[in-house]
Amino acid sequence: MAFDPRSSESQTAQTPTPERPHRFAGTAHAIGEWVRTLASAGVYTTLILTFVGQIARVDGLSMEPTLADHDRLVVNKWIYRVSEPRQGDIVMLYYPANPEKMFVKRVIAREGDEVQITSGTVHVNGVALPDEFVPPEYRSSEDFGPQVMPLGYYFVMGDHRNGSYDSRHWGPVPKKYIVGKVQLRWWPPNHSRLF
């Protein structure tokens, strides 16, 4: 078989040479993927914070020493749709006298419980609550009650007992005003904590 140089040339001319990918096209694709991922994360975060959780900031000293002024919190808004607030839970709630304001307090007593405070010691159903988390300088010496919590209502107090405006002053809180349970302090980072 004879060698025909024209056929070799024609074959070479017909074979397309692979194009070098453009650096810009690869970068644009990576940026597009990153933007899509970020947008998806934003949508998921919005849905979670709307229906499941909420970011909140502590304003004031009524929960010291447990929570400090300007601490940042994650509040679980879903938990009380499937369960009831429990004694000791730290909750975010609407202030009953002005529901445009929100407070963070600790649940002391639930519906049906009797609350009485004698010389600053809190008793629920005749039993003194363990409150070693309240330092001596934050304790009060006041008396209150006895008062039985109505159905669907909760008694809440701040951990800074002598510096908290709470159920001792404005009465029990209806469950519908309890937004959710404080689950996490995420700021400041060196004091982050799960509750």
Tokens of 30: 């990576």
Spot the catalytic one: 62, 140, 164, 167: 62
H/E segment holding residue 62: none
For 124-156, b where at least 16 C-beta lie within 10 A, e where not — what string?
A: beeeebebeebeeebebeeebeebebeeebbbb
CB 162 within 8 A of CB 65: no
Please name the residue that has the structure tokens 């445009």.
100
Residue 105 designated active-site: yes
Tokens of 191: 């004091």
Distance in angstroms (rounded) separating the CA atoms of residues 68 and 80: 25
Residue 140 designated active-site: no
What residues have CB less than 8 Å from 151, skipping those under 6 apart? 111, 112
* 135 torsion bin: left (phi>0), alpha (psi -120 to 50), beta (else): beta
Distance in angstroms (rounded) separating the CA atoms of residues 118 and 146: 9
Spot the catalytic one: 77, 105, 140, 167: 105
**Residues carrying an active site annotation:** 62, 105
